[in-house]
Chains A and B, each alone.
Chain A
């Protein structure tokens, strides 16, 4: 009986969860308006003490005028599997991953692609650098902390990915890695990334990132620089909660102001690089409001300058982050 109870408790502790977000996003770019309702379920299944299966999909509609800014609306459905990976956590120095995973180049792809987390809804212009072909890779990855003390930590990620043209599971043949230094007491993290693209035109992409969260102040500063033969650029974002502490749930404390600047400089065009063929400068300002029950509303305005034409970018979004046991009946 005791063993049975212990087994039951263990099953509860290792309960799988279903998390993720649901959103409605309205964007107006250069006078053309489109809408993106989306749901991104995240499934996490712990297995024993060291194993983990985790997955995230993105299911979204894209609704726009048939003729740019006029005519009736029509929509299409887009589905993608962003990751489905099996992890073995050997210890804090080594986690081995096999399957489909987010490309660990710089930090945006792994950390800020969930639409309920990112501060501004548009991905940076340089996002395609180092994340070809889809931001996800099929292969294996090693990651962990090389060494850590109370005031510092050095971490690494290394991976290899194979070519896949299967629908919704596309991946490029690439190899790369990332190394970062994290100073938790100062709230500073810096790192460098490298990727070798190993199909069609072989080339290198390199990048560097910086984040700063001064512990007493609810300020987040993030930045990335990336370079590839197809172009190079950077983005710098600052976000500030109007409060004295990070977990302030007062009316004003739930409000967050965001600003981002970015510049892109074109290089030699590479087919499929998804980068602009002209130089681009852009700034964005936004406000996020974190409502109770993990609901967030936000709005932003951006202005993009390029030789292909300047454009205003308006965006408004409401999102809800959910989290519950994946098999609720079993664990009651």
Chain B
């Protein structure tokens, strides 16, 4: 009987804790506007970098060939190092084109 009581109490306590935790999660205050703007700005910067990377790809690598259909993050470093020598890319070109090829 005592065991059953403790078991039921423990389950009830667990349920209450879980509920409170869930409520606290769902009731977590929204990020302040400044943080929201920072996240949006970060996303916009990433998009801009990718767009600039695409432009630099077609301006440099695209002088000779089309972009590869797919390229994995594992392969991209060697590909860009190769292109850095061939197309005389700058370190900045390399970084931006990396963001375009393997974001």
Contact = CB atoms under 8 A, between A and B. Distances in A.
Interface of A: 12-17, 19, 42, 44-46, 52, 54, 87, 89, 91-92, 95, 97, 110-112, 117, 143-145, 148, 153, 155, 184, 187, 189, 211, 213, 215, 220, 246-247, 290, 292-294, 321, 323-325, 331
B77 A145 contact: no
B81 A144 contact: no
Contacts of A321: 68
A14 B77 contact: yes
Given A13-B77, A45-B78, A52-B81, A323 B68 contact: yes
Contacts of A215: 58-59
Interface in B58-98: 58-60, 62-69, 71-75, 77-79, 81-82, 84-86, 88-91
Nearest to B85: A87
**Which of the listed residues A184, A215, A293 has the most CB atoms from chain B within 10 Å of its own CB?**
A184
Q: Which of B68, B78, B86 has the most CB of A within 10 A?
A: B78
Nearest to B59: A184
Nearest to B87: A111
Given A54-B85, A97-B85, A324 B67 contact: no
27 contacts: A12-B73, A13-B74, A15-B75, A46-B77, A46-B81, A52-B81, A52-B85, A54-B85, A87-B85, A92-B88, A95-B85, A117-B64, A143-B85, A145-B88, A145-B90, A153-B88, A184-B59, A184-B60, A187-B59, A213-B63, A215-B58, A220-B63, A247-B66, A247-B67, A294-B69, A323-B75, A325-B74
A294 B71 CA distance: 11
A117 to B, nearest CB: 5
A85 to B, nearest CB: 8
B82 A54 contact: yes
Contacts of A91: 91
A143 B85 CA distance: 8
A28 B70 CA distance: 34
Given A44-B78, A184-B59, 6 more contacts: A14-B78, A16-B78, A19-B79, A44-B81, A220-B63, A325-B72
A231 B64 CA distance: 27
Contact count band on B: 20 to 34
Contacts of A144: 88
Interface of B: 56, 58-60, 62-69, 71-75, 77-79, 81-82, 84-86, 88-91
B63 A111 contact: yes
Nearest to A321: B68
A44 B79 contact: yes
Interface centre among A15, A17, A215 (most CB of B within 10 A): A17
Given A17-B78, A324-B75, A246 B62 contact: yes
Contacts of A220: 63
B88 A155 contact: yes
B33 to A, nearest CB: 34
Contacts of A13: 74, 77
Contacts of B58: 213, 215, 246-247
Contact of A12 (B74, B88, B90): B74
A215 B62 CA distance: 10
Contact of B69 (A19, A87, A292): A292
A92 B84 CA distance: 9
A311 B53 CA distance: 45
A325 B75 contact: yes
Contact of A44 (B68, B82, B89): B82
A92 B90 contact: yes
A106 to B, nearest CB: 13
Contact of B63 (A45, A189, A290): A189
